[in-house]
Amino acid sequence: MAQAGSKLKKDLGLLGVYSIAMGTTLSSGFFLLPGLAFAAAGEAMVTSYMVAALLVVPAMFAMVELSTAMPKAGGAYYFLDRSMGPLVGTVGGLGTWLVLILKSAFALIGLGAYVGLFFPNLPILPLAVIMALVFGGLNLAGAKKSGSLQVFLVVGLVAILAVFMGVGSFHLDVGQLSALFDAEAKSIFATAGLVYMSYAGLTKVTSVAEEVRDPERNIALGMFLALGTAVLFYAVGTYVMISVIPPENLSGALTPVSAAADVMVGPWGGKVLAIAAILGFFAAANAGILSASRYPLAMGRDHLLPGWIRRVSREGTPRRAIAVTVGLVLVVLLTLDPTKIAKLAGAFQLLVFAFLCAAVIVMRESRIHSYDPGYRSPFYPWMHLFGIFSSLAVITLMGTLSILFSAGLVILCVAWYFYYAASRVSRGGAIFHWFARLGERRYEGLDRELRGILKEKGLRDADPFEEIVARASVIDAEEGATFAEVVTHASEILSDEVGQDWKRLREAFLEGTRIGATPVTHGVALPHLKFAGLDRPALVLVRSVTGIHVVANDPLTDHVDEQDVHAIFFLISNENDPGQHLRILAQIAGRVDDEGFSQEWLGAGDEQDIREVVLRDDRFVTIPVRTTSGSRVLIDQELKAVHLPKGALVALIQREGNVHVPDGSSILREGDRLTVLGEPAALLEIRKRYLRVAE
């Protein structure tokens, strides 16, 4: 039985991201279009492919930034909805979903030209239907299985093409270099418009960002690696084709890669490249179904599509969204000609790319502190403005039919929004935060949603969370202590650390609670401030076994919330890094939401125990220095003489009830308790070395 609202499983790593991006890029653009591109621009088609790569870069950089800030299912839909509102989100999401369905069907049909090299009489349509069902079944089994297949397909494809490039490098005709610019500029750019969509698949992986482990690293790195590989293959591959295939044979050829291999090494080479083409089309179809199915899932979550489509199975798979997507692929295969219709959708994809470049501008200018991308695209805003205008310019080269088809798709999406969705949604995008700076309204729910995303993403490697907690002062509040008294005590402690007047800090904390800026929930309060010029964040931990009464206002609902809290975390950070401030808050919030936190917090024996309750279990280890364990070798040693694995640091020494921040000259004594921070692998080695029982 499916459960609505279940989270998708994070099954995709760097190789999975790279394979999805490559699988949707190296198919028709490499194996079918070169012949058509040569017919339009001659040898200058190589230049057209490079121009197309340049034009897609702004959209790709925009997608990387947006997906590292908001790694949620739905890709372009989610980014456009949260930046410019549900109407634009519906156009981008519903339209892109339908385009991906068309392109998946096109990939299944398009491989017919290469399958025909092996089985001339094999009917293509039944094969396409069977493969659609196979890929649908794999996707129903989860992103891990479909991602594993994708890796297999793409590794095989890249391996064969690498050999093709290596052999082809010995056949390159240097004399052709001058011909790369012989065509008129109009022909080069018009052909760039034809092959532009060859690179569009690079961005499709963002629709499964919610299922990517460490999205801030893996999405950005995977997409950049895929772009570099694609540009290399398109540049060298098309140059090999114009070098070895006679112009009369290349013009309009439907199997140009096999034809090139046939010339270089004989018929068997053509067969091997035909296998690569089949792998490429299979990879495009599999990745297309995988990424397309996340659009209806995300739109169902936001009530832009019927709610039943958003249900996720207990295994973390959006089975209903996948089933509907595969069903529509089958409808297209059986009733339409996807080889013609899919080509008409290029103008719509360019329009979405222009919107995505605009989305980055909107998100940044909204000045929402919780918009915290792990990667910020460079040359802002000039590259994004170039992406907007270049996409619109290329649309004009796509032809009347393509423009009319895309316009019809936009009208269909707008009609769906007003017919079905408008009455079901009441949110706005980040653009209203931008308007708020000009005196208009804003949608506060977006800030809360982005804060929730920060909590899901967790800390970055450079965030000093463990160090902050390890150095935090601890107040064990007495019975009957008031919130104002605790605020005064914490302000006096923080005053010395951040160089601010304690009275100013006290008033700021109290005012934040009065106006609703202090989160208070589940027995925990998080008063927090930001000041300029701080070297590092500072934290005070307050525990109250009997409870401290806190009165907090919610400015969104005018509701006054009163409750007794047992944990208060006073945080002060540098206002020049609001993203880090919010990530630390989100990390604390995530920890206190863990099952068993309250029991551990109230049961902690001393200050060091309290700190360790807050720290992540996989990022620290406590070493009691005793003669009965492996730590006996530390007794009477200077800390600088102790060999620790790379990535590990002794943050604190607890001795006779007091906590000391050590330096290299600190002498370790029997009975000390060391708190060591570090990477999981380093801490595992430390546990084996120092926590084992002495022989």
pLDDT at residue 455, rounded to an integer:
61
* Interatomic CA distance for residues 39 and 251, integer angstroms: 5
Q: Distance between CA 453 and CA 642 in Å, rounded?
A: 40
Average pLDDT for 303-324:
87
pLDDT, residue 173, reads: 76
Q: How far apart are CA 380 and CA 516, in angstroms?
A: 34
Query: Residue 251 pLDDT more than 90?
Result: no
Pair 345, 410: CB distance under 8 Å: no
Nearest to 62 by CA among 291, 346, 385: 385
Q: How many Å apart are CA 255 and CA 258, to the nearest integer?
A: 6
Calculate Rg over the CA atoms of the chain.
Answer: 29
In this structure, is the dihedral angle defined by the CA atoms of residues 319, 324, 328 and 333, taken in order, positive or negative?
positive
DSSP assignment of 74-105 equals TTHHHHHHHHH-HHHHHHHHHHHHHHHHHHHH
More confident residue, 435 or 270: 270
Range scoring the smallest mean pLDDT among 103-117, 127-141, 292-306, 567-581? 103-117
Contact indicator for 568, 474 with CB cutoff of 8 Å: no
Ordered structural domains, the chain, with CATH: 14-397 (1.20.1740.10), 459-614 (3.40.930.10), 617-690 (3.30.70.1450)
Nearest alpha-carbon partner for 13 in 150, 153, 227, 214? 214
Res. 39: pLDDT tops 90: no
Percent of the chain with pLDDT over 70: 89
Q: What does each C-alpha distance from 69 to 72, 225, 438 come to in angstroms?
A: 9, 20, 25
Q: Give dist(CA 272, CA 264) in Å, integer.
A: 12
> pLDDT: is 437 or 389 the higher one?
389
Question: Any idea which of 329-333, 411-415, 603-607 has the lowest mean pLDDT?
Answer: 603-607
Q: Which two tokens stand for residue 88?
A: 């634009």
Helices within 142-199 (DSSP H only): 143-168, 185-195
What's the burial of 335, exposed, middle or buried (CB within 10 Å: 0-12/13-18/19+)?
A: exposed
Q: Band of the pLDDT at 557, cuts 50, 70, 90?
A: very low
Q: Is residue 45 over pLDDT 80?
A: yes
φ, ψ at 624 (rounded to 5°): -75, 130
Residue with tokens 């997507």: 325
Residue 407 has pLDDT above 80, yes or no: yes
Q: What is the pLDDT at residue 539?
A: 92
Please work out, in degrees rounded to the nearest 5, the angle formed at the alpha carbon of residue 603 by the alpha carbons of 598 and 605: 140
pLDDT at 96 over 60: yes
Residue 120 has pLDDT above 50, yes or no: yes
DSSP 329-346: HHHHHHHS-HHHHHHHTH
State the average pLDDT for the chain: 82
pLDDT of 163 over the 80 cut: yes
**Using the 8-state DSSP alphabet, how is residue 566 labeled?**
E
Residue 354 pLDDT: 92
3-class DSSP assignment, residue 623: strand
Range with top average pLDDT, 298-302, 408-412, 645-649: 408-412
pLDDT in tens, 201-227: 777 788 888 888 888 888 989 999 999
320 close to 2: Cβ distance less than 8 angstroms: yes
Q: What is residue 439's predicted lDDT score, i.e. its pLDDT? A: 47
Burial label for 520, CB within 10 Å (0-12, 13-18, 19+), is buried
φ, ψ for residue 21 (rounded to 5)?
Answer: -65, -45
% of the chain residues with pLDDT over 90: 15
For residue 690, what are the contacts with CB-CB under 8 A and spacing of at least 6? 623, 629, 630, 631, 633, 634
CA angle (368, 373, 378) in 5-degree steps? 105
What is the mean pLDDT of the segment spanning 406-417? Answer: 92
Residue range 73-99: mean pLDDT, rounded: 88
Q: What is the pLDDT of residue 296?
A: 92
Give the containing element (helix H, strand E) for 554.
strand 538-554
Q: Which class for 480: exposed (0-12), middle (13-18), buried (19 or more C-beta within 10 A)?
A: exposed
Mean per-residue pLDDT, 161-176: 83
- Checking if the pLDDT of 427 tops 70, the result is no
